[in-house]
Every structure is written in C-alpha cells, then in structure tokens.
C-alpha cells in the first residue's frame, strides 16, 4: 500500500498514477458469456460519473447511508469507489428502510422499494445495458450515468477517519479499510502486478477484500467470476493462463 493513501478513493488514484492503461478489473459471467475488461482509466471514468450522479443529481452528502444490494460485479466496484470519493457510506446488503439511498440489481428491486429516499436500479445486463422497461420508482443507472461528468470534485473531501463501509454488520473508516486491505494483501502474498482471480461473493469482508480492496492495495488487479456461475475446471484452467493469473482467491 502506498504511504500516501489515506482513504479508499486513493486506491484508484494510485492505480491511475502507476499505469492508467493497464487492466484493473476484468469480469466474467459464464452464464451469459460476458467478459468486460476495465483499465484503470476506464474504471476511473465510471467512478467519476457515478460520483457525480450521487453528489449532484441525487444530492447525497458525506455520511449518507447507501444500501448497496448488488453482487460481486464490475459495476459494484464502481459504486463502492464512487461512495468512497463522495464520503457516502456504502452498506453492503444494508436495510433499505434505514438507508438514505438504495442501489439494487434486478433481483432485489422489491426489497429496495422500502427505501424512503432515492433508488437506483442496475440491470446487470452485459455491457451495462439499460432495462428494457424502466422499473417504476427507480432511476435506471444505465440511463442516468452516461450524461454525468467525466471528472469528479467532491464538495467536501472525505477524511481517513470518516465512516466508509459497512459489510456483514462491521463498520470501517477509510483508514481501517485500507489497513485491513493492506494486511490481507500481505497475507496473500500480493504485490505490484499481482493478478487475482476471485469467484467469492461480496456479502462479507473476505470476498470483498479478495475481489477488490486487497489487490488494489497491493498495486495489483482482479479478475472476477460471477459467484454461482463459475466455469468448469478446464475452462477455469484456461482462464488462469489467458488472464495471467498469479493468485486464486479462496475464503
């Protein structure tokens, strides 16, 4: 972890500074055949647009609670890093009824309707496509995000001791998140250039760290396989070779 990193948003800044063109997050959904590869620059663009959507269109302020009802996915990574950039607290699987905003995938829309604030829906279709029919009571992310600005400046810069994330009932400040991600990276033997393959769910810290935060803290990258749609061993073996995987994440 870079000594200048103080908040989760700094992880993406460091990746951009190191090499904006290198693959940072690659996503496979073996149930649809989808493969999406995002360089550091491309992910940063998605994060900036999402952060602008949060701050300017939805009016989310630092400390606001966002119930994040999404699986391990490249768009979930964009939302997590956008929350870090704005100071919004992402609650993985949080109670929408107690949240200021809710962001949900297609299988959790009914649950998200309990949120009294703004609600955003993601289709999670290949290439981030929009819903064929917009869900009533929700902003379609794929419709709303393209028109947002490509650069983001927070009205108030989040601090390292501000709340940043809640997962499986455990809360983390930005500093705590970075410290734990760095420790996980060292435990897994990750370093600059490491490429981690993960099919773990993001409903707990172990999967979230292995599939996003620890590789970024180490200066590495991640290849995500949609949980529950992992390929057979022969396909997985080819993927390890094709993607130049250095580490395969376990629990």
Helices (H) and strands (E) in the chain, counts: 9, 12
Question: Is residue 27 within 8 Å of residue 232, measured between CB atoms?
Answer: no
Residue 54 in domain? yes
Count of all residues that appear for the chain in the document: 251
Residue 4 in domain? no
Whole-model pTM? 0.96
Residue 106 in domain? yes
Domain count of the fold of the chain:
1
User: Measuring CA to CA, which residue among 251, 240, 242 is closest to residue 196?
Assistant: 240
More confident of the two residues 134 and 74: 74
Tokens representing 193 are: 């250039």
Q: For residues 198-225, give the mean pLDDT.
A: 97
Residue 1 in domain? no
User: Measuring CA to CA, which residue among 251, 52, 212 is closest to residue 145?
Assistant: 52
Residue that is written with structure tokens 């951009």 in the block: 16
Confidence of residue 188 (pLDDT cuts 50, 70, 90): very high
Q: For residues 41-64, give the mean pLDDT.
A: 98
| Residue 199: pLDDT over 80 | yes
Distance CA 46, CA 42 (A): 6
Question: Is residue 124 within 8 Å of residue 88, measured between CB atoms?
Answer: no
User: Measuring CA to CA, which residue among 56, 51, 67 is closest to residue 104?
Assistant: 67
The values of phi and psi at residue 74, to 5°, are -65, -30
**Residue 172 CB: number of other CB atoms within 10 A?**
20
Give 176's DSSP letter.
H
Residue 152 in domain? yes
CATH number at residue 234: 3.40.50.12780
Give me the chain's average pLDDT, please: 95
Domain that holds residue 240: 9-248
| Residue 3: pLDDT over 60 | no
Burial class (CB in 10 A: 0-12, 13-18, 19+), 133: exposed
Residue 103 in domain? yes
| Residue 37: pLDDT over 60 | yes
User: What is the four-CA torsion angle of 43, 46, 48, 52, rounded to 10 degrees?
Assistant: -160
Confidence of residue 4 (pLDDT cuts 50, 70, 90): low
């Amino acid at each position: 972890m870079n000594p200048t990193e103080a908040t989760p948003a700094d992880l993406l800044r460091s990746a951009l500074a190191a090499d904006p063109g290198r693959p940072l997050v690659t996503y496979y959904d073996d149930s649809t055949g989808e493969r999406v590869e995002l360089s550091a620059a491309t992910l940063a663009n998605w994060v900036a647009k999402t952060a602008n959507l949060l701050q300017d269109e939805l009016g989310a302020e630092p400390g606001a609670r966002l119930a994040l009802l999404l699986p391990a996915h490249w768009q979930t990574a964009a939302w997590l890093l956008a929350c870090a950039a704005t100071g919004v607290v992402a609650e993985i699987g949080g109670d929408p009824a107690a949240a200021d905003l809710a962001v949900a995938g297609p299988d959790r829309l009914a649950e998200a309707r309990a949120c009294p604030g703004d609600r955003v829906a993601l289709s999670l279709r290949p290439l981030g496509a929009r819903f064929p029919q917009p869900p009533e009571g929700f902003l379609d992310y794929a419709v709303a995000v393209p028109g947002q600005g490509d650069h983001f400046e927070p009205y108030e810069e989040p601090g390292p001791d501000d709340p940043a994330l809640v997962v499986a009932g455990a809360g983390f400040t930005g500093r705590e998140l970075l410290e734990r991600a760095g420790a996980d990276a060292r435990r897994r033997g990750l370093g600059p250039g490491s490429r981690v393959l993960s099919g773990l769910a993001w409903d707990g810290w172990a999967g979230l760290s292995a599939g996003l935060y620890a590789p970024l803290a180490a200066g590495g990258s991640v290849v995500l396989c949609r949980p529950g749609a992992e390929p057979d061993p022969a396909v997985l073996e080819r993927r390890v070779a094709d993607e130049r995987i250095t580490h395969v994440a376990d629990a």
